[in-house]
A and B are shown apart, each in its own frame.
Chain A
Amino acid sequence: MTNIVEVENLRVKIPVSAGMLNPVRGLTFEIKKGETLCVVGESGSGKSLSAFSLMKLLPKIADISADKMQFMGRDILKMSPSELQNMRGNRMAMIFQEPMTALNPSYTIGNQLVEVLRRHQNVSVKEATERAIYLLEKVGITAAASRLSQYPHQLSGGLRQRVVIAMALMCGPDLIIADEPTTALDVTIQAQILHLLKELQEEFEMAILLITHDLGVVARMADRVAVMYAGEFVETGTAEQVFKQPVHPYTQGLLSCIPVPGKTARGSRLGSIPGIVPSLIGDMRGCAFRSRCPHANGACHNNVPLEKWSDDHFKRCVLDDTALTSIAKEAIA
């Protein structure tokens, strides 16, 4: 399968009053056609900044660099502003976390849907409107035609998120970046939206980069998973590998945070990882997780590369294989 996205050593730097913030520190990943890559990690780990980097939609003060950052074979970092504009919303579209504020309050749903298709394709208002109605029906909105003349404030959060999804689909993109698309919604709506995304992905053969901090969402959606901690991937692999054989102590910590029906005793304390994320200001050496890691030793002060663990399964940890294997066994026991 062909890679739609290829990124090597993506870094984001933001000057802040206390020094240089390094919220994204050398990410390498690829996304294949039609697959879902889930990036999972705690709040502040740099997930959103990484996602926005792909669209080059960061605040001006942020500095993005990468050895390679290609989308459909083209170098994103070398694109001119107008080439970027032609790509955004067209080949690469975005779904946001906050459906309540993602739509412009002054324009109708129809206006905002039609606008994006007309921006990228030479179609009439009528054709664009037909496409909008078709997609609104696709995302499960009833009486789609009459919704076109409504304003965002007239729709509920769940409906608005469906509109945002329809908007992302207007040009039939190759990649959808969804930054916590269900975090702001209640649980039943969450499940519906995720189900919908999966269906649409198959129908339109889109790749999805799904950002989340919810492992339940990862389990439902992911083909491959990248676990992010303090601006780095600490473990990557297929969903199966990461869920069944988590090797990195951080992944194990995350997994122990979710209760498993039948396994977790009623009333027992949920696992949580003690400690806080280290400051990302200035240079940093060694494993970022060491201060919170139950298995840390002196070697953790050295820089650790992302190393192969098994096929497609990578980890960033200095512990040797036997140690990790035994920890891994312990974790899934």
Chain B
Amino acid sequence: MLIYSLKRLLLAILVAITVSFISFSLLFLAGDPAIAMAGEGATDQDIENIRQLYGFDKPVLVQYFDWLLRAIGGNLGESFYFKTPVVHLIAEHMPVTMTLGAMGITFALSLAVPLGVLAAIRPNSIIDRIALLISVSGQALPSFWFALVLVVIFTVTLGWLPASGSDTWLHFLMPTVVLSYYAAPAFMRLTRAGMLDVLGSDYIRTARAKGLTTKSVFLKHALRNAIIPVVSLAAVQFGFMLGGSVIVESIFALNGAGSLAWESIGRNDFPTVQGLILVFALIYIVLTFLADVLNAWLDPKIRIG
């Protein structure tokens, strides 16, 4: 288990380094960053000054290491637009996105796992059909469209829920539903498939032959084994949700990291975009690493090799 985890950790670090390099080179993607920073109407002298100030005249690798060292030290540069440290901006906007992601994943799991289990217990039943319908529509409906439908129903028609802002938990309800509606189908199908697979196995027959109650057979013996792949997917999906919140946050005007990223792209605010990409990517890497470790821990064959 320890060796396994260390291997995974090493892999995660390698990926993180790669990602940091890509994220760094983003700054050069749009051409000469000094010109971009100087803005319109700047003289050649202005641009040259900026180039020297930010070290753009040095070799790329040197610039990368300088940047990396600063990033590790918590300095992601200054926003072109706000003229404040990017780290502060991210710290300010991240909680909303994290809350949204956590609520989204919780809601998706608590909807999808029971439905997947029920669908597997009675394949081809009404519940199974409903699950399939939700699953297909969840994949097919674009989330902005679904979000608009919700707003029309709950804000415009019924007036129950606020459509924009992030002041109270009520503001998070619709964004959560939209976000999780997109992730739930995968959980549901994975739970259903895993359960069906496990229910046909010999140890489930053993559990039945022991006279265990139906509940114990399904939940203790079947679900425990069927849930393992769902756990890894959940961690990965959480990462996707943080990324996916870009759309949802813009629609519902939630002031999170997603909408910050969206707006910063529009404002050519490269340091902010760069910092956000780096942070999102790192979160994603950490989640994947945790998923691997959790997965191993859930499977005694890996835990006790």
Contact = CB atoms under 8 A, between A and B. Distances in A.
Partners in one complex: yes
B209 A101 contact: no
B209 A94 contact: yes
A104 B211 contact: no
Interface stretch (B21-29, B151-159, B197-205, B251-259): B197-205
Contact of A106 (B202, B209, B213, B225): B225
Given A151-B304, A153-B301, A103 B211 contact: no
B281 to A, nearest CB: 33
B200 to A, nearest CB: 10
A48 to B, nearest CB: 11
B42 to A, nearest CB: 65
B212 A89 contact: yes
Interface string A79-123: 001001111111001101010011111110000000110011000
Interface in A251-302: none
A217 interface: no
A321 B201 CA distance: 48
The B interface, classified by DSSP as helix, strand, loop or mixed, is: helix
B210 A116 contact: yes
Nearest to B208: A57
B221 interface: yes
Nearest to B202: A101
B203 A101 contact: yes
Nearest to B217: A85
A93 B209 contact: yes
A81 B208 CA distance: 11
A85 B213 contact: yes
A142 interface: no
A154 interface: yes
Given A96-B205, A103-B203, A105-B203, A85 B300 contact: no
B211 A88 contact: yes
Contact of A57 (B209, B212, B298, B300): B209
A239 interface: no
A55 B206 contact: no
Contacts of B7: none
A96 B206 contact: yes
Contacts of A90: 211
Interface in A112-171: 115-116, 119-120, 151, 153-154, 164, 167
A105 B222 CA distance: 11
Contacts of B225: 104-106
Given A104-B221, A106-B300, A153-B300, A120 B211 contact: yes
B300 A86 contact: no
Contacts of A87: 211
B215 to A, nearest CB: 11
A89 B225 CA distance: 22
A119 B210 contact: yes
B304 A154 contact: yes
A167 B212 CA distance: 13
B207 interface: yes
Contact of B211 (A96, A107, A119, A151): A119
Nearest to A88: B211
Nearest to B203: A104
B267 interface: no
A117 to B, nearest CB: 10
B206 to A, nearest CB: 5
B261 to A, nearest CB: 41
A163 to B, nearest CB: 11
Interface string B212-248: 1110100001001100000000000000000000000
B203 A85 contact: no
Nearest to A101: B202
A104 B209 contact: no
B142 to A, nearest CB: 39
B119 to A, nearest CB: 16
B297 to A, nearest CB: 11
Interface of A: 55, 57, 81, 84-90, 93-94, 96, 98, 101-107, 115-116, 119-120, 151, 153-154, 164, 167
Kindly list the 6 A-B residue pairs having the minimum CB-CB distance in the complex, ordered from nearest: A88-B211, A89-B210, A89-B211, A101-B202, A94-B209, A151-B300
